[in-house]
Chains A and B, each alone.
Chain A
Amino acid sequence: MTLIDGGAAIINISVELHGLLAGEKDRFRKLSCEEPLPVSELLKIMKIDPEEIGLVVVNRRVRDLTHVLQDGDRVLLAPYLQGG
């Protein structure tokens, strides 16, 4: 699985890295790939340790790392957080 920027893509995904996951990097990324992929694969490609992930939200629904991403999905990845 490769993630390509701007190529002949089938799947387009927008990703937001929340809070400390983004660090000083760009929080919002638009990514393209050739076929549907699970969130765990997305993390590998983005070089994010799954241990750092406290929450995966896809199209406003809470999902887990096995959830398979489709074209047009909006993903928010958040670190461990607790309510106020």
Chain B
Amino acid sequence: MDYLVRVNMSTESVTREKVPLQYAGLGGRGLTSSLVYHEVPAGSDPLGKNNKLVMAPGLLGGTGASSSSRLSVGAKSPLTGGIKEANAGGTAGGYLARSGIRALVIEGEAAAGRHYILYLGKNQDYQLVKVDFEVKGIYALMTQLREKYGDSISVICAGPAGMNKMRSAAVVVSDPEFNPRFAARGGLGAVMGSKGLLAVVIESPRGMQRIPADRSRFIETSRKLNRLLLENPKTGKTFREFGTTAITKVVSEIGCLPTRNFSQGSFEEVESISGEALRDLIRERGGEGCSGKRCMPGCVICCSNIIPGPDGKAVVANLQYETLALMGSNCGFSSLDDIARLNYVCNDIGADTIEMGAALGVAMDGGVLPFGDLAGTLKLLEEVREATPLGRVIGNGALITGQVLGVKRIPVSKGQAFPGYDPRALKGNGVTYSTSAMGADHTAGNAFGDRATTDPLKTDGQVALSRKLQLRAAVLDTLGFCIFARPPLLADPDIMVDLLNSLYGWDMDSSGLWKIGEDLLKLECSFNRREGFGPEYDRLPEIFTQEPLPPHNTVFDMEPQEMARVYDFD
């Protein structure tokens, strides 16, 4: 793990350099954000040649420690205008790490109309290959790349949304079965498209392993983590059986489930899109449907599923809570089959289902089509794929859609759509959406897990809670951990410290671990301030402070002055 690989799309060159000293000890989000902070000049156009797209495995990437090989993707976001990191499972993080690549830095921009595949073979066989075929969707692209390069590869790619530079576009990573995994948020797929980079193909680093400084201690701690993950009630059985959809019914019950463009906090038909309904559908239909699948080699949580159609054939993998919330209840859909189909199409376009679900909800609120109109929604999504003028409006996300249509309730913070928790009834998330440099992003600090200890409807304690959660997320993202692994890791942070020390031969204590997170949050905040986003941007849209959300009829009433103290760590 010693090298940065720089790809200059303007000069069509690929170079390798030792990781500069200032980035030693960083990985994942810590590394992507630091590189973006130091190398992207202030005022750069997010879709211009001076922005950089950085892809980096976490510090533990490729080691085989459970749930720790996520790939962080970072850049200046075309959606928020600020710094952005999004991460995904799949095989790319582990492959890059085992290949000795600490980060890929994509710079410059290809000549107009030119698209490339970056091939990263073993033994520094790096090639930038001009694309000579048309790309209509992610699934076909995965197939084409497997036909060309074989199955011993990992793929990072952009879909039609990304190549058309739409702000809902994701960077997509292949999992062990070449199903797509999404570094979904912030429009980072559009940055990839703006560079003219269609895909990165990484040859399997077969025979290449990361060698820990203290191998026996690393293996011992990894085994301990596996045991704790399997024993923990949050990470053991529930995820295997229900995946992330386990929470759908509870989120609706406590009144923060996005419903019909965030006009309600509970969905009267939630039972039909609940985790239980999804589990039962998979069981009853059988066929190719299943739950308990893993998206990363070595992960013991296994939260993924394959949704079967009525004929038992796979419709989509993997249907998650956020998609159920944003493309389901938020768009008035109560059929799992409908939502699975919409999920498949969004995946194929390479778009974030959160941003698209929010944009579609806004479009429905704005009268473009009725809530729950499947045929109309599918038609709109095809317009996104084809990049028609209306398709471009929707594909550029909830804010642009709402502004074009004159819709009053636009569920965004810093230009990015709210994920599956209405901040008026889960106020800790409202603090995170408001203050995080990442914009409205539940993965930056999700208060749902603390609902029993901090009343989600009250303002008391929410800033301190968000501070704690944002710090934890920053650390997990830097190590490459999936946030679902957090219960045992946060109960005993020395597990993370032990893994790092035994891998790198460091002598860090837990205070050093949290310092990494503090420094990262402050750096990301500084980037946004530098780009002109002052404290006045750390707010939710006014309507969410005024319009009560049924059934609790609460508004987001956190004091901005109090939220401004979110990064007071002392």
User: Is there a chain B Cβ closer than 8 Å to A81's Cβ?
Assistant: yes
Contact with A along B320-341 (1 / 0, CB 8 A): 1110000000000000000000
Assembly CA distance A52 to B233 (angstroms): 8
Assembly CA distance A27 to B274 (angstroms): 13
Assembly CA distance A74 to B568 (angstroms): 40
B452 and A79 contact, CB distance less than 8 A: no
User: Is there a chain B Cβ closer than 8 Å to A76's Cβ?
Assistant: yes
* A81 surroundings in chain B (CB, below 8 A): 234, 238, 246-247, 250, 449
B250 and A55 contact, CB distance less than 8 A: yes
Q: How large is the interface on B (under 10, 10 to 19, 20 to 34, 35 or more residues)?
A: 35 or more
Residue of A20, A52, A56 with most partner-chain B CB within 10 A: A20
CB within 8 A of B250: which of A18, A27, A52?
A18
Closest CB in chain A relative to B387 CB, distance in Å:
30
Q: How large is the interface on A (under 10, 10 to 19, 20 to 34, 35 or more residues)?
A: 20 to 34
CB within 8 A of A62: which of B421, B452, B487?
B452
Closest CB in chain B relative to A81 CB, distance in Å:
5
Contact with B along A6-46 (1 / 0, CB 8 A): 00000000000011101000010000000000000000000
- Residue ID in chain A nearest B242 by CB atoms: A19
Closest CB in chain A relative to B252 CB, distance in Å:
9
User: Is there a chain A Cβ closer than 8 Å to B451's Cβ?
Assistant: yes
Asked, given contacts A19-B242, A79-B233, A82-B487, whether A60 binds B552 with beta carbons under 8 Å apart, the answer is yes
Interface of A is mostly: loop
Residue of A22, A61, A84 with most partner-chain B CB within 10 A: A84
B455 and A62 contact, CB distance less than 8 A: yes
* B452 surroundings in chain A (CB, below 8 A): 54-56, 62, 64
* B552 surroundings in chain A (CB, below 8 A): 60
Closest CB in chain B relative to A25 CB, distance in Å:
12
Closest CB in chain B relative to A68 CB, distance in Å:
17
User: Is there a chain B Cβ closer than 8 Å to A78's Cβ?
Assistant: yes
A27 and B234 contact, CB distance less than 8 A: no
* B486 surroundings in chain A (CB, below 8 A): 82
Closest CB in chain B relative to A53 CB, distance in Å:
9
CB within 8 A of B253: which of A60, A64, A79, A82?
A60
Assembly CA distance A26 to B247 (angstroms): 19
Contact with A along B173-214 (1 / 0, CB 8 A): 000000000000000000000000000000000000000000
A79 and B238 contact, CB distance less than 8 A: yes
B456 and A62 contact, CB distance less than 8 A: yes
A76 and B253 contact, CB distance less than 8 A: yes
Assembly CA distance A79 to B247 (angstroms): 10
* B244 surroundings in chain A (CB, below 8 A): 84
Assembly CA distance A19 to B552 (angstroms): 24
CB within 8 A of A83: which of B266, B449, B455?
B449
B247 and A60 contact, CB distance less than 8 A: no
Q: Chain A interface (Cβ within 8 Å of chain B)?
A: 18-20, 22, 27, 52, 54-57, 60-62, 64, 76, 78-84
For the A-B complex with A57-B253, A60-B254 known, give 15 more contacts whose Cβ atoms are closer than 8 Å.
A19-B242, A52-B233, A56-B452, A60-B266, A60-B551, A61-B254, A62-B254, A62-B452, A64-B452, A76-B253, A80-B232, A80-B487, A81-B234, A82-B448, A83-B448
